[in-house]
Structure 1
């Protein structure tokens, strides 16, 4: 929960008016619990773990980057890349996300 009940209290505490992004975030989070805000960490961790490998695979398919690789003679097929991607994504969904959700009480104790 936010320590400020209204926008005016937040502006007074900061000593300035809030920016548009800060106002939107305040309105979005004003009535949400700490746990629901903590759950926002899962998509923030999940999106990069999905997008970065796809970006790498696309670059490897479209451009010849073999000369910049540590092992340039090793060529991994698209199928093997996709299989690895699915394993990593499944691991995140089945292990990392539930661990984050379950570990919230211990993290909250540490932050207090």
Structure 2
């Protein structure tokens, strides 16, 4: 959960008004539990792994000659079916390995954060 309950508190802690994107995210996530916000990181990874290679895939599919000088084997063309198979393999790894690892590591992060807070509070008392 966010430490602020309203937009004014968030803006006051930053010392400036919130940007439109920050306001949108605040309204979306203010009542959401921490785990749900943390789970968004998997979908961000999925989007990144899908969108970042897209320009290269399209240029390869169209046969853009600029790419040839950067390839190790410039005369080899990768068929689109192999590109799709590679994408499926990457998504399978994301779903079978990365997603469970991300979601099971959350309690560890939560415990570590609580332990750090407790240690800091104990040190302040002593």
Instruction: Name the one with the larger helix percent.
Output: 2
Q: Give the gaps of 5 or more residues in structure 2.
A: 117-126
Please list every run of 5 or more consecutive structure 1 residues that lacks an aligned counterpart in the other structure: none
Give deviations 1:57-112, integer Å, cap 9, x for gaps. 21112113223212224333222222222111111112211221111111233445
Root mean square deviation, CA, Å: 1.9
Structure 1 residues 1-10 or 51-60, which shifts more?
51-60
Question: Using the alignment, how far apart are the partners of 1:58 and 1:11 within structure 2?
Answer: 42
Q: Which residue pairs with 2:88 in the alignment?
A: 86
**TM-aligned CA distance change 1:18 to 1:54, over 3 Å:** closer
Distance 1:13 1:54 in 2: 39
- Equivalents in 2 of 1:80, 1:11: separation in Å? 49
CA distance in 2, matches of 1:52, 1:18: 28
**If the length of structure 1 is used for normalisation, what is the TM-score?**
0.83
Query: What TM-score do you get using the length of structure 2 for normalisation?
Result: 0.76
Secondary structure of 1:4 counterpart: coil
Q: Quote the Cα distance in structure 2 between the aligned partners of 1:103 and 1:2.
A: 20
Runs of 4+ residues over 6 Å off in structure 1: none
Match of 2:6 in 1: 6
Candidates 104, 107, 110, aligned match of 1:105: 107
Query: Which protein is bigger by CA-based radius of gyration?
Result: 2
Question: Which structure has the higher relative contact order (CA within 8 Å, separation 6+)?
Answer: 1
